Each structure stands twice: as C-alpha cells, then as structure tokens.
C-alpha cells in the first residue's frame, strides 16, 4: 500500500462515520445543481424545437411580402429564384389575404372575416390540419372554401352551406383547424376563410384602394442560401416596399424572447446555487472545525500537512462530485417530468 492510497483510504474511512452530515452537504449541492441542469436542459430543448419548427412557422424558405400587387420585376425575381434550385419550378406559392364580409345566405349571417387566397403548394413545410382530413391538398383544383371553425359557430353554419364573398359563391367544404405559426387570438379579429387563389378575381373585391397583403412564398434548393439571397435583394426591394423574410428572421425574433427567458431562469438557478454554495461553505467550515482534534492527532502521529490537507480535500471533492452527479441526475429527471407536463 502506498502513502497515497493510505490517504484516500483514510479520507474514506474518516468520512464514513459522519455520513449523515455529509449527506446534508451532498444534498445542498445536489439541489442547486439540479435546478441549474433542469433549467438549462429545458431552455436548450425549447431552443432546439424552435429551430426545428421555424421553417414550419414560415412554411417556406423565403417570403416576399407587400401591401400592393407585386411589380413585374419582383414577380420575375421570385420566378427565377423558384426555378433556380435543383428541385425545379413549382416551388412558388402566392398567398393574398384581406379583410372582407362573408355572408351565409342560408343562415342570413354576416361576419367580418380574413380571406386568404392560396395559390400553389404553400405551406412547403409543416402541416395544416383540416376537417375533413386532406381537404387542404384538394383545395387548389376545387371550387370550395375552407373556414375557421369559429366562423361556423358564429354564423350557425355547417359544412355544405354556401358562402358568399363579394360576387363569389362557394360551398363550405370543411374547417381549417390548425395552421403552424398561427396565433389563436387572430381568429377573434376575423375568422379565416381560405379560398383557391384562382378564384380570387371572381370575388371582385380587390379593387383600387383595397387593403390586402400580398405574399410570395418560395421553397429553395439545398444549394441556395435564403439568408444570402435576402441580403442580396433587400436593398433593391426596399424602394418597392417589399419585405423579405427568412426562416432565420422568424427564428431570431422568437429565439430572442426565448433567450431572454433562458437567461433569466439561468440567473435564478445560479443565484440558488450561489446561496447553496454559501451554505455548503459554512457547513464545510464547521465540519473541518469539528475535525480539528483529529487533525491535531494526525499531525502528532506523523502526518504531514500535505497528507492531512489531502484527506480533507479528497472528502470535499468527493462531496462535490457526488452532489453534482446526483444533482445532474435529479435535474434531468425534473426536466423529463416538466417536458411530459408541457407536452
């Protein structure tokens, strides 16, 4: 047996009899570490899922938005971008939305709604849930409308009823239940009515001076960098009052909020750990003070300063290590429980 292993053995045996007090120290460290681990894991996971969902929030890689009809120049730019990728054309969708009055003749009900005319395969990413299922994909070729469930409730209408939008008459084919990135409260200002983009002109509602939001959504090839494209074209498009948005932009604005939340929670956990650390420090201080006689005896029977210091350093390091490992495990458990609760 070497002197080193003797010191380790002594540290272990000397700690053994004071197990209950040591368990308290381990517990204090574990709780602080657990809080930190749980919060960090939770915010990291939140950030990761935001990154994963960001494309679905936009539904595309890149979007152009304008308050007026796009000029031919913007139109052809979008076309060239949509066809520039290796995936061919057909990666372009147009969404026009505006406020209008919807009328259901059978119920004699009128409501202010938000009309969304979709042309093309938007959304390219993410799923829109409808009732009946799959109604979204057949919308393009059909002469039907999909509406917000809130509209049916408000007007007492049912699928199959005819809906009038300006001069256009369409049967309600079903409801749009979930759109990624959509905020529930928006429906309160005007329930959504989705119609195929090809029928937009038939409504006769978009006259001179009509307030509408025009958007072009693009899906890009893997070799096209949406942010580089956005950066390149932004200056030229600014005079035309066309805004370019990318997944990164969406992610950033959402990410900033999460970042702040994460930092705040992290700070709380750190303060908790710091306070816990103070507690641990004073507890260790008392622990060592109680060991003074033992230390004196050890010195008396031939222990060097280094050996005595090592014995208690090993004990303190052991407490720290066990506390951290237990805390990390505890933190992960809390994180998993928290996730199960949120999901």
Partner 1 sequence: MLRCAGLTQSYPSGNQALTVLQDISFEVTAGEFVAVIGPSGSGKTTLLGLLAGLDRPQAGRVWLDGAELTTLGEDARARLRGAKVGFVFQSFHLIPTLTARENVQVPLELRGEPGGIRAEELLARVGLADRTHHYPAQLSGGEQQRVALARAFSTSPKVLFADEPTGNLDQRTGARIIELMTELNREAGTTLILVTHDPELASRARRILRLADGRLVADTAA
Site residues, partner 1 (CB under 8 A): 1-3, 6, 9-10, 13-18, 293-294, 296-307
Whole-angstrom Cα distance, residue 194 to residue 57?
18
Least separation in angstroms between CB 19 and partner 1: 10
Whole-angstrom Cα distance, residue 245 to residue 340?
33
Q: Return the number of the residue (300 or 343) whose C-beta is nearest partner 1.
A: 300
Q: Which two tokens stand for residue 287?
A: 């622990």
Q: Tell me, what DSSP letter sits at residue 125?
A: S
Q: Which two tokens stand for residue 194?
A: 């989705």
Whole-angstrom Cα distance, residue 232 to residue 281?
57
Least separation in angstroms between CB 262 and partner 1: 44
Q: Return the number of the residue (12 or 264) whose C-beta is nearest partner 1.
A: 12
Least separation in angstroms between CB 9 and partner 1: 7
Q: Return the number of the residue (189 or 309) whose C-beta is nearest partner 1.
A: 309
Q: Return the number of the residue (223 or 293) whose C-beta is nearest partner 1.
A: 293
Helix then strand then coil, in percent of the chain rounded to 5, is 55, 20, 25
Least separation in angstroms between CB 293 and partner 1: 7
Whole-angstrom Cα distance, residue 183 to residue 187?
8
Q: Return the number of the residue (3 or 210) whose C-beta is nearest partner 1.
A: 3
Give Cα 72 to chain centroid, integer Å: 36
Scan for tokens 């933190």, then name that residue. Answer: 331
* Residue among 298, 181, 157 at smallest CA distance from 251: 181
Least separation in angstroms between CB 23 and partner 1: 15
Residue 165 parent element (H or E): strand 162-165
Least separation in angstroms between CB 313 and partner 1: 16
Q: Return the number of the residue (14 or 202) whose C-beta is nearest partner 1.
A: 14
Scan for tokens 């730019």, then name that residue. Answer: 77
Least separation in angstroms between CB 306 and partner 1: 7
Q: Return the number of the residue (15 or 56) whose C-beta is nearest partner 1.
A: 15
How far, CA to CA in Å, does 314 sit from each of 160, 193, 317, 319, 324? 77, 70, 5, 8, 15
């Amino acid at each position: 047996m070497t002197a080193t292993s003797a010191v380790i053995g002594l540290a272990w045996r000397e700690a053994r009899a004071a197990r209950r007090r040591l368990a308290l120290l381990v517990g204090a460290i574990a709780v602080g570490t657990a809080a930190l681990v749980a919060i960090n894991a939770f915010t990291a996971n939140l950030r990761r899922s935001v990154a994963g969902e960001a494309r679905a929030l936009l539904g595309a890689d890149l979007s152009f938005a304008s308050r007026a009809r796009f000029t031919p120049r913007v139109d052809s730019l979008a076309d060239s971008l949509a066809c520039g990728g290796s995936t061919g054309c057909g990666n372009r969708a147009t969404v026009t939305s505006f406020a209008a009055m919807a009328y259901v003749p059978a119920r004699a009900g009128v409501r202010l709604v938000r009309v969304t005319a979709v042309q093309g395969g938007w959304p390219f990413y993410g799923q829109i849930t409808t009732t009946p299922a799959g109604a979204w994909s057949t919308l393009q070729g059909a002469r039907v409308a999909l509406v917000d469930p809130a509209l049916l409730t408000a007007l007492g209408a049912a699928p199959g009823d005819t809906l009038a939008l300006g001069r256009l008459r369409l049967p309600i084919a079903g409801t749009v239940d979930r759109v990624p990135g959509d905020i529930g409260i928006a429906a309160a200002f005007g329930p959504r009515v989705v119609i195929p983009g090809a029928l937009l002109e038939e409504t006769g509602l978009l006259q001179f001076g009509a307030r509408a939001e025009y958007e072009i959504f693009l899906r890009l090839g893997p070799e096209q960098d949406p942010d580089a494209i956005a950066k390149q074209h932004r200056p030229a498009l600014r005079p035309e009052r066309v805004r370019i948005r990318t997944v990164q932009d969406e992610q950033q604005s959402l990410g900033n909020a999460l970042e702040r939340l994460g930092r705040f929670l992290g700070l709380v956990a750190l303060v908790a750990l710091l306070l816990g650390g103070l507690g641990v420090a004073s507890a260790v201080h008392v622990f060592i003070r109680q060991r003074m006689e033992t230390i004196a005896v050890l010195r008396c029977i031939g222990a060097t300063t280094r050996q005595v210091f090592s014995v208690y350093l090993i004990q303190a390091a052991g407490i720290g290590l066990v506390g951290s490992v237990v805390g990390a495990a505890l933190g992960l458990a809390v994180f998993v429980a928290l996730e199960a609760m949120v999901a």
